[in-house]
Chain A
Amino acid sequence: MSKNTHTQVQEHTIAIAGRGGQGVVLAATLLARAAFKKGLYVAQLQSYGAEVRGGAVVAYVVLSKQPIENPYPENYDLVVALHEAGVARRRNEILSSKAIIADEDLVRSIPKDNVIWVKIVKSGTPNMVALGIITAFIPAITEELRKEISKLWNAEENLRSFDTGIRIGVELLGKYTKLKDVAESLTKLVSS
């Protein structure tokens, strides 16, 4: 029997799945940097191909109050899917995730019951809308993220898309209880 009792490790993961050129990796990096500036431990990893555009891209951010033990989670707390390509690349991980929000035009393969469909790509700059949706789940990092986005090229349009994303996210949170649970666990990370 084990002598050292295991300590509980609380790590939460947010993933963005898409296609090369949508800015998936950039969005995850900004999210991670904002969370880092809020004092969290973060790990941000991605899978992408050799293409500049096209190809499957999945990027995710692991958040914790303690140093990250394992940055290779088997599934995610929240997934925002922007394109079928990325979904196909990490299908098992995505399908076993707690909450999936997917673009209704560009994602096809997820069974209808498992997912919340929204217009993401058509609502603005895809990665910024995605970031906005995610931010609705952890409002405490909104200002840090806004600062990060302001440094980008074309900041004005990006910020507009980011705000659109927040509006979509808040609306979804009001509608679906399973999203509320995810938001609660993420918010707890930053609040105390």
Chain B
Amino acid sequence: MRVEFLSGNEAVAKAALDAGLKFYAGYPITPSSEIMHYLARELPKNGGMFIQSEDELAAINMVVGAALAGVKSMTATSGPGFSLMQEGLGYAVMVEAPIVIVNVMRAGPGTGQATKAAQGDVMQARWGRHGDQVVVVLAPSSPQEAYDLTVKAFEIAWGLRVPVVVLSDEFVGHGREVVEMPDKVKEPEPGWGSEDYSKPPFGSDDPRKPPPLPPLGEGYDLLITGSTHDEWGYRDVHSFETHFKLVKRLKEKVLGNIEKVFMYEYFGDDEADILIVAYGSMSRPARTAVRRLQAVGFSVGLLRLKTLWPMNYDALRSYVKDARVVIVPELNLGQVVYDVRIVASNDTVVVPINKVGGGVPIYACEIVEKAQKVWGEVLEEALQP
């Protein structure tokens, strides 16, 4: 076990190296730059290649190319750069490139506040591309989890041949904490099993299993295209059958593995009256709020989402259904609160707490205060004749 004092950004970079990263291309942007600073120094020493590209568009496309060549590859950015990467990310979904993209969120839109934390890119991470597509989105809450979930991101990307977004934020990325890391991480294995290249590289009989990815340049003529293609990679930009089959498989590949991909943690009372649903940095004051509310006799729990997409609505519903009040603190104007509203019954009071900008967190006392106020209102209403 290695124990070090690291920022979340350093933890991401270390995790990537441990998971077998051999190629990084990126363009610096606050608050993600420390990831590339670290890898610029360390990746070449570990037999990898580092490129500072001319912009984010080039970076994501280089990363896709490297992944298709069979190399573990990654890029990191923040909101404005993430916007520029959407086209490449959509292409990566279509060609099934196993890449990892880290977005260390800052306050937007536009260039917003470069040095201030926010959680405003949740919906963009899920839906930022055109067309029907699913990527996986993971949200670390601390430098420790930045390490753990980055390793996990490579596992999922290479397990399913799908892009994975690590959605960190400025608090997590620039905050420094104690991080425990195993001495050795098992390099994630490709989910398509043995290198049997007699099988089609863009088709699979089992929708939950990704097709094999033949490494570029190794005795295999292959067309890789972002246009609709059949299971052998031939373009077909006319037929309904080919397109529908392809996009359906790309979706089912991820959703069919939702048990593996969807991660969360619950803390607090069973079947709590008051449920807090939180993720990333803001799940930590939420946990303190749970303890404080318990101390004064409330039945309360925290559902901490580590995966933000795909959402396991059944799992979410199983916690929300027991609660009378659900509080959703987010460093944005309300995004994950919509997921809670989807599964909540009409009797459940769903209360967002929204705050963003200036690098100001949502404090535990604000969550406690809101919970007590809303609980009071619910009781009062229940007591009315």
Is this pair of chains taken from one and the same complex? Answer: yes
Type the 1/0 row for B280-294, where 1 means its CB is closer than 8 Å to any CB of A.
010011011001101
A67 to B142, CA, bound (A): 11
Report A46 CB to chain B, min CB distance, Å.
Answer: 7
**Are A45 and B174 interface neighbours, CB within 8 A?**
yes
A41 to B30, CA, bound (A): 27
Does A178 interact with chain B (Cβ within 8 Å)? no
* Segment at the interface with B among A3-11, A119-127, A131-139: A3-11
Does B299 interact with chain A (Cβ within 8 Å)? yes
**Are B178 and A67 interface neighbours, CB within 8 A?**
yes
Does A171 interact with chain B (Cβ within 8 Å)? no
Report A55 CB to chain B, min CB distance, Å.
Answer: 9
Query: If A44-B175, A50-B115, A70-B287 touch, does A4 touch B5 (CB 8 Å cutoff)?
Result: no
* Segment at the interface with A among B88-96, B120-128, B160-168, B360-368: B360-368
**Are B363 and A47 interface neighbours, CB within 8 A?**
no
The closest CB in chain B to the CB of A74 belongs to B363
Report A107 CB to chain B, min CB distance, Å.
Answer: 20
**Are A3 and B177 interface neighbours, CB within 8 A?**
no
The closest CB in chain B to the CB of A47 belongs to B359
Report A36 CB to chain B, min CB distance, Å.
Answer: 4
**Are B175 and A1 interface neighbours, CB within 8 A?**
no
Query: If A4-B268, A6-B291 touch, does A69 touch B284 (CB 8 Å cutoff)?
Result: yes
Q: Which residues of A contact B114 (CB under 8 A)?
A: 50
Q: Which residues of B contact A46 (CB under 8 A)?
A: 174
Q: Which residues of A contact B294 (CB under 8 A)?
A: 2, 4-6
Q: Which residues of A contact B281 (CB under 8 A)?
A: 72
Q: Which residues of B contact A70 (CB under 8 A)?
A: 284-285, 287-288, 364
**Are A2 and B297 interface neighbours, CB within 8 A?**
yes
Report A138 CB to chain B, min CB distance, Å.
Answer: 17
The closest CB in chain A to the CB of B366 belongs to A74
Q: Which residues of A contact B115 (CB under 8 A)?
A: 47-50
Choose among A3, A9, A33, A48 the residue that contacts B5 (Cβ–Cβ < 8 A): A33
Q: Which residues of B contact A17 (CB under 8 A)?
A: none
Q: Which residues of A contact B223 (CB under 8 A)?
A: none
A47 to B357, CA, bound (A): 11
Q: Which residues of B contact A32 (CB under 8 A)?
A: 5, 176
The closest CB in chain A to the CB of B281 belongs to A72
Does A142 interact with chain B (Cβ within 8 Å)? no
A7 to B294, CA, bound (A): 10
Does B382 interact with chain A (Cβ within 8 Å)? no
Q: Which residues of B contact A44 (CB under 8 A)?
A: 175-177
Q: Which A58-91 residues have C-beta < 8 A from chain B?
A: 67-72, 74, 89
Does A43 interact with chain B (Cβ within 8 Å)? yes
Choose among B177, B269, B284, B287 the residue that contacts A4 (Cβ–Cβ < 8 A): B269
Choose among B30, B175, B297, B358 the residue that contacts A71 (Cβ–Cβ < 8 A): B175
Q: Which residues of B contact A6 (CB under 8 A)?
A: 291-292, 294-295
**Are A50 and B177 interface neighbours, CB within 8 A?**
no
A42 to B5, CA, bound (A): 8
**Are B284 and A72 interface neighbours, CB within 8 A?**
yes
A1 to B295, CA, bound (A): 10
Report A25 CB to chain B, min CB distance, Å.
Answer: 9
Does A29 interact with chain B (Cβ within 8 Å)? yes
A112 to B349, CA, bound (A): 45
Q: Which residues of A contact B358 (CB under 8 A)?
A: 47, 89
The closest CB in chain B to the CB of A25 belongs to B174
A4 to B270, CA, bound (A): 9
Q: Which B351-376 residues have C-beta < 8 A from chain A?
A: 358-359, 361-365
**Are A3 and B285 interface neighbours, CB within 8 A?**
no
A162 to B208, CA, bound (A): 61
Q: Which B262-288 residues have C-beta < 8 A from chain A?
A: 268-270, 281, 284-285, 287-288
A17 to B287, CA, bound (A): 27
Does B146 interact with chain A (Cβ within 8 Å)? no
Q: Which residues of A contact B364 (CB under 8 A)?
A: 70, 72, 74
Q: Which residues of A contact B142 (CB under 8 A)?
A: 71
A72 to B294, CA, bound (A): 19
Q: Which residues of B contact A33 (CB under 8 A)?
A: 5
Does B298 interact with chain A (Cβ within 8 Å)? yes
Q: Which A3-29 residues have C-beta < 8 A from chain B?
A: 3-7, 9, 29
List 10 A-B pairs, Cβ < 8 Å: A43-B175, A44-B175, A45-B174, A45-B176, A47-B116, A67-B178, A70-B285, A72-B171, A72-B281, A74-B364
Q: Which 8 residue pairs are nearest across A and B when measured between Cβ atoms?
A: A72-B361, A47-B359, A70-B288, A2-B294, A6-B291, A36-B5, A44-B176, A45-B175
Taking A67-B178, A72-B171 as known contacts, 8 extra A-B pairs with beta carbons closer than 8 A to each other, sorted by chain A number, are A1-B299, A2-B299, A5-B294, A32-B5, A32-B176, A36-B178, A69-B288, A71-B175
Residues on B close to A: CB < 8 A?
Answer: 5, 30, 114-116, 142, 171, 174-178, 268-270, 281, 284-285, 287-288, 291-292, 294-295, 297-300, 358-359, 361-365
